[in-house]
Structure 1
């Protein structure tokens, strides 16, 4: 049955709004025809019994209070009134075969200018503690005379034939805007109450003649490909890049799922020109799917972390709005139990307007190890799959499989097959070994502690790691809630206050967020009631305690270190650009807090005193295998007040706020 698809092809320029979608591993594609409704807010997406496909622009992050260049792009909803399912091979045979010519290929930001932006982001943003990683886009552009509906259906055929490993391959046609893409990454789905996210990061570019790219290779070529892939998997930058986005999406899962998220993987995600590494995160939620989508806007793999600051960095370094790039194409399907959501990220997608302008936006994830030339090459490789389908780049022969099958080992002789099998074994071992250094808390369901009958207030200083901290505290038996820094009470009634991490320079008292955190921490100290400070808040506490705060020579973003914390070794993850300095075992000039620091460098890992503790590392991070145990130890210490401090008479915790409120200067 190809009634709908045939009619769309026959109508061509007069075709009604439609979406044609193929999901990975499925033997058929769906043809959806309907009416377009534009809405302003995610909550306005009309879920009134009909299936809806919603094109959600990047500007929608403003619903979460984040920055974005505003182009007034609406949430474009296709309210489905007719549909059919067509076997994949039959659909490919019907879709337009003739190439859609794309002329005037250009790029809005030159290679040199993009490389310069990479250097600025590393130096001025990551280097100033604004975050761990950021995604900056550039756009490849062109033009075509083809009717939009015909163009995107033709591009869909080319993508189905020449791309592999895509989560969704799709064509969408609406008045004034059409699109076709092969996106590798699910952002979020909510199927019968199971919420899933699929962070993909780390990019291995296939070489000319690689077995993955060409479908066949000699033994020597297969071995060379395997060696390069193993080198990629060993690469520190690529490994840390993936772990950082897993952390960022676990923050979102903790905000959406009462029991948090659990990670599975890592896996390889093979496509025609690229291979990525990926994890799958899963949890359960009863939230409206539109609210699930709102709380997870948008993927860190296309923005950065922490999310709020990443959006600000994007606004500073990208001069034009993103449109729908990095947004999602969200499909809402009514079921007997409610409405299911499936929302891939809008990447590896070409956009076509009624004037014939073609845009292919792409981006690279910039981290402290980034090489500007490498990031330039990565953006070109990411664009190449779509540009090839558009006919803007020459096609190389590729063996199309069942859309998701692994053709990496397809070789022309037994020696090459043996080499590929041996490489696959090494790859599986290497991927599995990555989890040896990750926190079991986020991988293996664990029994929760009995309720303590105590409440904890977690103050968000601009980093949603606080959602993970609150989740761990609930696991430890606390009733925990999160409040933003600007809404936190000066005199909190909770049994424990946890001051969270955040971006920026802790010495910058002109920053309202830093100034407010100083005020809140000082007030809690003066009350003599239990507190724990993490990362940025730890640095603020150290400054209040009279320690010098300095910028590190190299940012520690997503770095796991084994450190000594008051006599116990702990492997924990760090996301910091600044650090306090003091001798291990010393006490701070003010407050008389005991110092745990690196014996060689003096970098402070933790502080403690009566009803006070702080830690530089992120105990909640997936990179902290000893994080939960250390969190429990520190929290128990401040609640039981069992530590015997060496406090000078002038450094009592109960000193008036004015005695500790003035900032110390960096020394």
Structure 2
């Protein structure tokens, strides 16, 4: 069922209103090119594990309502089908999607960074059978931009409730003020030492580049919808997302995509590497951009990433279709400038969108060169698994479209806490203090905009 409304909308506010409404027990908000989607509930799911992909399908009528009208997803407790995989889960995903009982499905979900370890045949820390990815077919999908709003639902009751929530401004209370998170590390020594040790390994010829990250604890409970709205107003992301999924909440303002695939097989990836901070003075920022393009370390870091992205597309695409459409263009992303390029092609007959996503995942700009050699270095020097960080948030359709945002510049839950996280690209000319400062600049995209939940106590003031 479908309804469309024309009018003037604030699409980010509509999406956040739906996410905060409590109508569904899980939801995804995804933004691309001025259009927002809200995906509420789940009528089917595909989960990716170390050596299997599993399907969970329910009937629309199986979903019930809990307290205060909240719709609970009607998925079974056990998967209805499981397909084994080795090397790549792409074919197993294709098999299970072809069997979905919904013909014109849309999928929303996430992939954890550690999926790359499984694809490479490397060991996983913790629960080896844990979810490395979750993709759901929503009960309700809302698409909204400044001119129109469209609701798709499995039944009239869901459609009417969601349309009412989307259109009703109501008497919403103003969001609480943000409480900026301190991004400095009280003990930066371990990160500095990890960078120095990695530089030594690169100079010894083990590999060319590694991205090392550090995480910062958020010392209070977070209002994720309010944080997303404030952060989105202050940022210029390539994509943005707001997740409320089983065991995970996140709000992010991604600077780049992992991969974009159109229904006709056109494919694009946009490597982003090379960074400098932004400021409030346009003239000073112009000098910074020029200096960034003249910085040998930053240019090298970017160039090796483009080389890898080009090779990855050539392995997937029709002969002579791969091109570097844009090279070393400086883009503004929140609190920083990045060097950006765009590589595109057309998938050949052997490869589909899921092959493309697995082949380019994780982005070279958050892993290293070569990727497989970078994974053990990341696991050695980073104290905790990355989870969603440096993974992807995904939207896909039955027509072959797939859009995957790189999961960066976000606040997210993990291990019972709430965190910010950022990394820097380490190459042979890296200097530890400079790379640490780069993580601070990137964290500043999100840190000033984090909003505490309404029941978070006010911070204690120091004694006079």
Give the TM-score category using the shorter length. Answer: 0.7 to 0.9
Question: Which protein, 1 or 2, shows the higher relative CO under an 8 Å CA cutoff with sep ≥ 6?
Answer: 2
Q: Partner of 2:324 in structure 1? A: 263
Question: In the alignment, is residue 341 of structure 1 matched against residue 402 of structure 2?
Answer: yes
**CA distance 1:20–1:372, change in 2 (3 Å):** same
| Aligned mates of 1:386, 1:4 — CA distance in 2 | 19
Unmatched segments (≥5 aa) in structure 2? 54-88, 150-165, 453-464
Q: How far apart are the structure 1 equivalents of 2:206 and 2:389?
A: 23
Mean CA deviation greater in 366-375 or 85-94 = 85-94
Q: Distance in 2 between matches of 1:298 and 1:66?
A: 15
Equivalent residue of 1:248, what SS? Answer: helix
Please report how far the alpha carbon of residue 368 of structure 1 lies from its aligned counterpart in structure 2 after TM superposition.
Answer: 1.1
Deviation at 1:158, TM superposition (A): 0.9
- The correspondence of residues 82-481 of structure 1 with structure 2, limited to 5 A, is 82-87=140-145, 97-99=174-176, 110-123=187-200, 125-146=201-222, 151-164=223-236, 166-191=237-262, 192-207=264-279, 209-211=280-282, 222=283, 224-259=284-319, 261-266=322-327, 267-285=329-347, 286=349, 287-335=351-399, 339-352=400-413, 357-391=417-451
Change (3 A) 1:83 1:305: same
Given that 2:265 and 2:352 are in contact with CA atoms closer than 8 Å, whether structure 1 keeps it comes out as no
Moved more, 265-274 or 37-46: 37-46
Native 8 Å contact 1:233 1:239 kept in 2: yes
Once the 2 structures are TM-superposed, how far is the Cα of residue 107 of structure 1 from its aligned partner?
6.8
Structure-2 separation of matches of 1:101 and 1:34: 29
Aligned length: 366
CA distance in 1, matches of 2:210, 2:444: 22
The one-character-per-residue Cα deviations of 1:398-421 (angstroms, maximum 9, x if unpaired) are: xxxxxxxxxxxxxxxxxxxxxxxx
What is the alpha-carbon distance in structure 2 between the residues aligned to residue 227 and residue 289 of structure 1?
40
Compute the TM-score of the two structures, normalised by the length of structure 2.
Answer: 0.72
Q: RMSD of the TM alignment (CA)?
A: 2.9
Q: Distance in 2 between matches of 1:100 and 1:92?
A: 25
1:9 to 10, 20, 36: 20
Rounded Cα–Cα distance in structure 2 between residues aligned with 1:93 and 1:303: 43
Shift of the 87–10 alpha-carbon distance from structure 1 to 2, 3 Å rule, reads same
Match of 1:586 in 2: none
1:92 is displaced (CA, Å) by 12
2:117 aligned with 1:62 = yes
Are the counterparts in 2 of residues 67 and 308 from structure 1 also a CA contact under 8 Å? no
Whether the 8 Å CA contact 2:110–2:134 is kept in 1: the answer is yes
Question: Matched residue of 1:98: which SS?
Answer: coil
> 1:261, 1:283 within 8 Å by CA — same for their partners in 2?
yes
Cα distance between partner residues in 2 of 1:278 and 1:96: 40
Moved more, 279-288 or 98-107: 98-107
For the pair shown, the structure with the greater C-alpha radius of gyration is 1
Write the distance in 2 (CA, Å) between the matches of 1:319 and 1:363.
13
2:132 maps to which residue? 74
| 1:67–1:315 Cα contact (<8 Å) kept | no
Cα distance in structure 2, aligned partners of 1:257 and 1:168:
25
Give the match for residue 665 of structure 1. Answer: none
Structure 1 Cα separation of the partners of residues 224 and 249 of structure 2:
7
Task: Flag structure 1 segments of 5+ consecutive residues without an equivalent.
Answer: 212-221, 393-667
**Matched residues in 2 for 1:187 and 1:296: separation?**
7
Aligned to 1:496: none
Q: What is the deviation of 1:113?
A: 2.1
Q: 1:117 to 1:291 in 2, by over 3 A?
A: same
Residues 143 and 69 of structure 1, relative CA distance in 2, 3 Å threshold: farther
CA offset at residue 332 of structure 1? 1.0
Q: Distance in 2 between matches of 1:106 and 1:228?
A: 22
| Structure 2 partner of 1:20 | 29
* CA deviation after TM superposition for structure 1 residue 55, in Å: 0.6
* Structure 1 residue 366: Cα displacement: 0.4
| Inter-CA distance 373–258: structure 2 relative to 1 (3 Å threshold) | same
* Partner Cα separation in structure 1 for residue 30 and residue 39 of structure 2: 8
TM-score when normalising by structure 1: 0.51
| Separation of aligned partners in 2, 1:107 and 1:23 | 31
Work out the CA distance in 2 between the residues paired with 1:381 and 1:152: 22
Q: d(CA) in 1 for partners of 2:146 and 2:230?
A: 13
